[in-house]
Structure 1
Amino acid sequence: MLESVKYFWQVRQPKSNQDLLVMTILCRNEVDIIEANIKTHSTLGVDGFVVMDNGSTDGTREKLAELTKQYNLHVIDQPSQTYQQAKWMKELAFYARDKMGARWVISNDADEFWIPENGDLKSYLQAQDSVVTVKRSNMLLTEKALTDDYHFSQAEHRVLYPICYDREVQKSDNQISMLLVPISPKVIVNPRGLIKLSGGNHRAKHVGKAFTARSEAGIHVYHYPIRTYSQFEANIMHREELLKLPNARMGDHYRRWVRIYQQGGLEQEFERFVLTQEQLSTFVEYRVAVKDNKVSKAILKALQ
């Protein structure tokens, strides 16, 4: 209740240069992308980071330790494999509020990049914001992804207008590409007055939501869920273990991929993600996909 009161008092205060934007991330075995994520967002107005490492074994935890020397980055170790994403992300938002003084929190995943149309991210946020919803798109793979020196930032096309397959078809038809289906947006929240974050950080409950929730078209989230086959396979093997937990909650796409993995077809599933030039040209022609290298430029600039 006290934090709710603080929210309604805070929205009366004008936005200032002292207001902090903090990004929270829950990650496990994301060594190929976590450094780019932190460095890119630090150049785009994010003042600090809270990263919960969920038992990484691939060098992610060590990379995070290195990054704490360069950035305002707090690392929290959470070795439990109970997969309580909604609970943990809410805890991280409150940590950002209480320990770092965040006015706004971006609840992020390691494979997502929040890119402003111009300037920095904070220029699109308002003093009264409670929940800000931002659209998200999957980045597409081309045959470049099959080369040894491929880096995920080389992807230059994203889904523009997804293909709305029936939900049951998404689960059962092995011939479709899950990168082309609609995906949920993401949210930025004011942690004061925050009640709940959904498991995938797609929605939030907030005491001020009825009055001040809005969408923001000036920020777009670029999603890299599939980067290489080895990354994809390791992720699905881990998801298989998580799905053994009682009351495990996970998206239909992960359940599909675990099933296909168990049937021995994961490599074929990955091949469906990789578009030939002819296929890509057709998708662009029919507006399923669009060339968009804004995120690529931001990542490469941050990594220089």
Structure 2
Amino acid sequence: MTILVRDEEELIRANLDYHLSRGVDFIVATDNRSQDSTADILREYEKRGVLHYIFEPDDDYSQDQWVTRMARIAAEQYKADWIMHVDADEFWWPSDGRKIPKILESVDNSIDGLIVPRSNFVPIENYDDRSPFFTQLTVREKKSLNPLGRPLPPKVCHRGTSDIKVSQGNHSFGFENRAPRTEQCGNILIFHFQKRGFKQFQKRIQQGGAAYDRNQRLNKAVGDTWRELYELDRKGELQEYFTDSTYTDEEIKQGIVNESLVSDTRFMLYMTELYGQQQ
């Protein structure tokens, strides 16, 4: 697994523990200028021998280059059979109960990679930053959209190879000399917890939006969601946008009734049991 993070102390430990428990055997992590305890947490897992730590000092969000670098390290240095590219707020859920490697082992040898769908868990009023996110966010969208109201793009995983090139956003991949052969993944759903508390959301938009502004290499159409939300923040309108996107208890009940929302406590129960076992 690869993961690119910046100031993700709220999520990073849960993310690593969860995916290791689901069968991920090694993690290549890039820390992009974290100022909180993210680096210290990553170093803990490095000392355990399950993580390769990279510090990235640049501040232009060249995600495609940094994730491609991690993917090639995973393939060349650690001989990865399969590589999945994960964000800190994404948790890959095997819908049939198998470990993730078992699902990937069953993919036909002619397939280079899988297209994996995502599902947003909805933000709630009165979210408490002091409590674990997974105990509070237990309702997700039946059909997920990105923050600008467009269909939520999937993510990818692929076989380990040294000529891999991962796109910005981890939504697709390619090779040096040929097009990849992919298929839709029906056995994994990515649980996405992008919006939690407003302070976390605003900080992420400010960091990512400013970094995109500094990137002179990428087309301005790349990262349009980040850029538009960053513009809302500069106008002082991000709080209003965030508040409008949160759900009251009544709105959640209505959403479940009209089937636009789904109550899903599986992740909460899994994480509660995982940390109960670790204690």
TM-score, L = length of structure 2: 0.88
Any conservation in 1 of the 2:116–2:156 contact (CA below 8 Å)? yes
Q: How many angstroms apart in 2 are the aligned matches of 1:194 and 1:137?
A: 30
Q: CA RMSD in A?
A: 2.2
Q: How many angstroms apart in 1 are the aligned matches of 2:126 and 2:48?
A: 32
Instruction: Kindly provide the CA deviation profile for residues 1-57 of structure 1, in whole angstroms up to 9, marking residues without a partner as x.
Output: xxxxxxxxxxxxxxxxxxxxxx00111111100000000000101000000001100
Q: Secondary structure at the match of 1:243?
A: helix
Q: How many angstroms apart in 2 are the aligned matches of 1:242 and 1:294?
A: 35
Count of residue pairs brought into register by the alignment? 267
- Among 129, 135, 143, the alignment partner of 2:117 is 135
Cα deviation for residue 298 of structure 1 reads 2.7
- Among 125, 128, 132, the alignment partner of 1:151 is 132
Aligned to 2:29: 51
Aligned to 1:222: 191
Cα deviation for residue 148 of structure 1 reads 5.2
Q: Secondary structure at the match of 1:143?
A: coil
Q: How many angstroms apart in 1 are the aligned matches of 2:273 and 2:225?
A: 32
Aligned to 1:77: 55
Show structure 1 runs of 4+ deviating over 6 A.
none
- Among 212, 217, 235, the alignment partner of 1:243 is 212
From the superposition, tell whether residues 300 and 71 of structure 1 become closer, same or farther in structure 2 (CA, over 3 Å): farther
- Higher CA-based Rg: 1
Cα deviation for residue 131 of structure 1 reads 1.0
- Among 79, 85, 91, the alignment partner of 2:69 is 91
Any conservation in 1 of the 2:118–2:144 contact (CA below 8 Å)? no
- Map 1:163-202 to 2 at 5 A: 178=147, 181-192=150-161, 194-202=163-171
Q: Which runs of 5+ in 1 are unaligned?
A: 1-22, 164-176
Cα deviation for residue 241 of structure 1 reads 1.9
TM-score, L = length of structure 1: 0.81
Any conservation in 2 of the 1:138–1:159 contact (CA below 8 Å)? yes
Q: Which runs of 5+ in 2 are unaligned?
A: none
Q: State the percentage of identical aligned residues.
A: 28
Q: Secondary structure at the match of 2:9?
A: coil
1:119 aligns with 2:98: yes
Higher relative CO (Cα under 8 Å, sequence separation at least 6) belongs to 1
Any conservation in 1 of the 2:212–2:223 contact (CA below 8 Å)? no
Alignment-mate amino acid for residue 223 of structure 1: H
